[in-house]
Structure 1
Amino acid sequence: MASAESEISESGIFSPSDLPSDVEKGTNPATEEEKPFQRPIPDWQWFLVAVGLFFGALLYGLDTTISASVQGPILSSLGEIEKLAWVGIGFPMGSIAVILLFGWCYAVFEIKWLIIGSVVTFEVGSAICGAAPTMNAMIFGRVIAGIGGAGMYLGALTYIAVFTPGSSRPIYNALTGASWGTGCILGPIIGGSFAVSSATWRWAFYLNLPLAALMAPVYIFLFPKYNPQPDLTGPTKLARIDWIGAMLNATVFVLFQVVLTFTGSTWKWDSAGPIAMWIVFGVSLIAYIIQQTFSIFTTPERRLFPVHFLKSRTMNLLFIGTAASATSLGVGVYYMPLLFQFTRGDSAIRAAVQILPLITITIFSIMFTGGLLPVIGRYSPLYFTAGVFAIIAGSLLHTIDITTSTSAIYGYEVLLAIGTGATMQIAYAVSVAKVKQHDVQNAIGFINVAQIGTLAISLSIAGSVFQNRGFINLREALDGYGFSEQDLRGALSGAQSGVLNGSGEVVKEKAIMAIVKTLDSVWILTIVAGAVSLIAGLLMRWERLNLQAAGI
């Protein structure tokens, strides 16, 4: 292990030997006491770099959910209701399609230029969304922005892994998660504000441009360089990428989201189109599994997915626990505002404000457990506790009807926030502490797939449940009133339709009751997520990591 006092090379590029390795598989990790960690840049510079990283995570979170409150105005401007779901799903889908590829790139390429390139990609996607003349252009922009956002978020986690000691990583990871979570919760509020203003919904996306420009000097002039493999040339690194694995990975996730989103709502379950798509998805998944397992057209060291992690009980359970947290967060952030809009008649802005308890307590929980983990050293109790809170919250949400008081719903939000935030970020610190130094980037990417990938998948599942069950419930509740399928679908999308406007109080009440009944089915996902987190916590090793609390 190289000395922590290693000097920066004249080129200004760090190599892995310039920083101390604090993790060894099978040993008690994070033993900086042996050789004190010394960051190879001044503290003032690192402070500004950290601000830039947290700000990028905030923007990523913001765009993850900002579409939740602008879908109605977008539909009014661009039409094509059958494609509306992709305004929300396109962003996380773009992210999950490239997360593992980004993880591999951050392990071999200069991380400064990768993160700057990701910011540029994110801004290009945002500009396309703001200027979109059609729904197809909007969806394309959302996917591009999602790709860039994934690079920004993964870049932040990589900088933290490289430039902080193990004792401080839980705090930095918590701050990154809190920034991302803050953005996720503020997304509907900011989007709703623009949607009802003279600036229109387009500035919900244009906003990213001046905000990124504000931080551009920090990214360009202050972000330190770090080249994980300085002895290899760029073309050699490109040639070593598992391109087949990258393409199969993207294909699997994209196909899964397409068929899950459109089957039942746009396509009939028994029609030829979705059946063929499900078959293609299955074949692609099998091909991806075989290609990664046997390292076809690549090597075990270069394959995209860290297959060897699947042999680790701890890594698998960390993945599962993080996926459970992401599911609870996604469902809560997207569907809690809908609950208030339908049952209270709230505007998009007011409905978003109604989830402030969910916002503040989630952020508090992320920060609290980030600071608690180095103190107690044990992570399994946190997953168990989070599961208990999520199960209770989901069960209570499942009982909501149109007469449930707002104060009671606030209480349910608090319980869900504790169950979500407690384990949202800690897997990043634990996983890094459980692997060898050369696997650190793989560990970050692995957990990132669990977090962002499951968020995208859970939203697709929830959306499918909401659209399919909602249509059935509305059709049964309003049978005989002569509403078309488009009217019923429009009501579920929050669009102005004859179902909720201008059809009389009796029809409106029946429609709202049917929609609230549909939301009951959506809340079941949080109950399942809580149960999964609880079981994961019980199965995790009862071990104590040596992550001593330290200043940042």
Structure 2
Amino acid sequence: MESKPNPEEERILLPTLTTNYGTSPPNVKEPSKQTFYIESSKDSEVSVPLPRVQFILAIASLFIAIFLVSLDNTIVSTALRGMIMDLGKQELAPWVGSAYMVTSAGFATLYGRFADIFGRKWVFMFAMAMFEIGSLICGVAQTMETLIVGRAIAGVGGGGMNAMVLIMISDIVSIRDRGKYQGLVGAAVGVASILGPIVGGAFSDSSVSWRWCFYINIPFGMVAMGVVSLLRFPPFTGNMAEKLKRIDYFGALTIFLAILCLICPLQLGGSTWEWNSAPVLIMFPLSAVFFAIFVFVELRMAKDPIVPAGMFVNQNVPTLLAYAISLGAIFFSAIYFISMFFQVVFNNTATQAGVSTIPLVLGMVVTTIGSGIFVSKTEKYVPLLYAGPVFMVIGATLTAFLDGVGVYGLTIGPIP
């Protein structure tokens, strides 16, 4: 029988994909609103306790996974020029990044539910396998279309790995220590973001070729998969047919179509398509329609919704989602286009362009580690939510004034 916590000990926190929830006891204030509580009020408790050696192996393998995904996001930016020179079809080049983002965003929402249905370990293994298969296809691609398909498959795995790393860390680490470990995850992302452009540029400039930007994922990914396969997470139990029935297929389809109809015109508008062309004018409204259908499905139809409505009882959840989307849009745009700026405007090599992007991500590494420690020590995060956008707006504004004159002591003539 499910035990209820003492209301005096109850801590109301943001819901996560990894915590078991129940409805609040009758004596909770404002009974008309559905609230959620964490079943254990002790910050030091761990959902899945692991022996010390297994814990170290688990953390190491999860860090490898998030490092590879983050490296894959940035390593392509400086190697993109080499891919275009080798495979041609420059007009399709933006899809090398967008194909990954579309499938990553579309499928990432599914992994939290899959982890609850099929168990953490095997869902993580599936995500890693998809990432490895996609990387292999990219490495052997002989056409730009094949490369884009490989990136889309890798995105199916990459989105899952991003989600599963955070879910599994939440399982094996207590609430009190979670900030520190998530800060370390952010540091791994930052280090990968620094190394990615440099390594991608070095591969592109050398005889090794840009293909090793993808081949490099395979051996390290296999190591992470091997380690995770040895860990003792709660096993998969129950009837497979019954579990498959729990999957919200219609919700998954509508959210994927909504994201696809949003990304395509944003990506192709102004280049392949005119902004006032029929595809752009049709797909934007279609995206809104599919999002509305998705919301209806989650609220009224799905037995096990991908996005439970209870997550949004706390108004902080939609606020933080909008916050993350806004900052992510700035960061990933900068990663992809600043390195291209140095290659096109200054005629830098890919390696030089990678080095030039180091200041962009070095600050992120320092502040990510520091903010994780700050939150764990003080249990305060609101000051960081104000400070981050301020610095990002200042940096983005200064970056917008970059031109071909006077940077790094160079004077460059007009761009032909």
Which TM-score band applies after superposition, normalised by the shorter structure? 0.7 to 0.9
1:65-117 CA-to-partner distances (Å, cap 9, x unmatched) read 22211222212222222211101111121110101111111122121111111
Aligned ranges 1:258-407 → 2 under 5 Å: 258-293=264-299, 295-296=300-301, 298-299=302-303, 302-406=304-408
Distance 1:406 1:327 in 2: 27
**Paired AA for residue 346 in structure 2:** R
Aligned ranges 1:43-442 → 2 under 5 Å: 43-221=52-230, 223-227=231-235, 230=237, 232-293=238-299, 295-296=300-301, 298-299=302-303, 302-406=304-408
Instruction: Check whether the contact 2:342–2:353 (CA below 8 A) recurs between aligned residues.
Output: yes
- Runs (4+) of structure 1 moved beyond 4 Å? 19-31, 35-39
Instruction: Check whether the contact 2:258–2:286 (CA below 8 A) recurs between aligned residues.
Output: no
User: Percent of pairs identical after alignment?
Assistant: 27
Following superposition, the deviation at residue 158 of structure 1 comes to 1.3
Distance 2:219 2:297 in 1: 43
Q: 1:36 to 1:274 in 2, by over 3 A?
A: closer
Distance 2:259 2:190 in 1: 23
SS in 1 for 2:134: helix
Following superposition, the deviation at residue 284 of structure 1 comes to 2.4
Following superposition, the deviation at residue 343 of structure 1 comes to 4.2
Following superposition, the deviation at residue 22 of structure 1 comes to 13
Distance 2:322 2:403 in 1: 31
Question: Is 2:36 the partner of 1:32?
Answer: no
**Paired AA for residue 234 in structure 1:** M
**Paired AA for residue 348 in structure 2:** D
Instruction: Check whether the contact 1:185–1:333 (CA below 8 A) recurs between aligned residues.
Output: no
Instruction: Check whether the contact 2:48–2:233 (CA below 8 A) recurs between aligned residues.
Output: no
Instruction: Check whether the contact 1:337–1:355 (CA below 8 A) recurs between aligned residues.
Output: yes
Following superposition, the deviation at residue 248 of structure 1 comes to 0.5
Q: 1:199 to 1:28 in 2, by over 3 A?
A: closer
Instruction: Check whether the contact 1:115–1:152 (CA below 8 A) recurs between aligned residues.
Output: yes
Instruction: Check whether the contact 2:131–2:153 (CA below 8 A) recurs between aligned residues.
Output: yes
Gaps of 5+ in 2: 4-18, 25-34
Bigger drift between 272-281 and 255-264 goes to 272-281
Q: 1:29 to 1:188 in 2, by over 3 A?
A: farther
1:212-252 CA-to-partner distances (Å, cap 9, x unmatched) read 2333431222x22225x84x422211101110000011111
Instruction: Check whether the contact 1:64–1:92 (CA below 8 A) recurs between aligned residues.
Output: no
Instruction: Check whether the contact 2:21–2:37 (CA below 8 A) recurs between aligned residues.
Output: no
**Paired AA for residue 259 in structure 1:** P
Distance 1:123 1:132 in 2: 14
Q: 1:397 to 1:186 in 2, by over 3 A?
A: same
Following superposition, the deviation at residue 26 of structure 1 comes to 6.8
Instruction: Check whether the contact 1:337–1:351 (CA below 8 A) recurs between aligned residues.
Output: yes
Q: 1:275 to 1:22 in 2, by over 3 A?
A: closer
User: 2:51 corresponds to which residue?
Assistant: 42
SS in 2 for 1:226: coil
Distance 2:263 2:368 in 1: 28
1:323-344 CA-to-partner distances (Å, cap 9, x unmatched) read 2332332133223323333443
487, 500, 509: which one pairs with 2:413?
Answer: 509
Instruction: Check whether the contact 1:23–1:29 (CA below 8 A) recurs between aligned residues.
Output: no
Bigger drift between 264-273 and 245-254 goes to 264-273
**Paired AA for residue 243 in structure 1:** Y
1:296-346 CA-to-partner distances (Å, cap 9, x unmatched) read 3x23xx122233333422112222232233233213322332333344332
Following superposition, the deviation at residue 28 of structure 1 comes to 9.5
Following superposition, the deviation at residue 402 of structure 1 comes to 3.0
TM-score (normalizing by structure 1): 0.65
Distance 2:131 2:385 in 1: 33
Instruction: Check whether the contact 2:48–2:171 (CA below 8 A) recurs between aligned residues.
Output: no
Instruction: Check whether the contact 2:103–2:156 (CA below 8 A) recurs between aligned residues.
Output: yes
User: 1:453 corresponds to which residue?
Assistant: none
Following superposition, the deviation at residue 354 of structure 1 comes to 1.6
User: 1:424 corresponds to which residue?
Assistant: none
Distance 2:168 2:23 in 1: 16
**Paired AA for residue 354 in structure 2:** A
1:370-399 CA-to-partner distances (Å, cap 9, x unmatched) read 011022212211111112222222232233
Instruction: Check whether the contact 1:22–1:166 (CA below 8 A) recurs between aligned residues.
Output: no
Q: 1:373 to 1:94 in 2, by over 3 A?
A: same
**Paired AA for residue 258 in structure 2:** V
Bigger drift between 175-184 and 234-243 goes to 175-184
Instruction: Check whether the contact 2:75–2:196 (CA below 8 A) recurs between aligned residues.
Output: yes
Instruction: Check whether the contact 1:60–1:149 (CA below 8 A) recurs between aligned residues.
Output: yes
Distance 2:248 2:22 in 1: 28
**Paired AA for residue 341 in structure 2:** L
Q: 1:358 to 1:22 in 2, by over 3 A?
A: farther
Instruction: Check whether the contact 1:63–1:91 (CA below 8 A) recurs between aligned residues.
Output: no
Distance 2:346 2:331 in 1: 22
Distance 2:415 2:308 in 1: 48
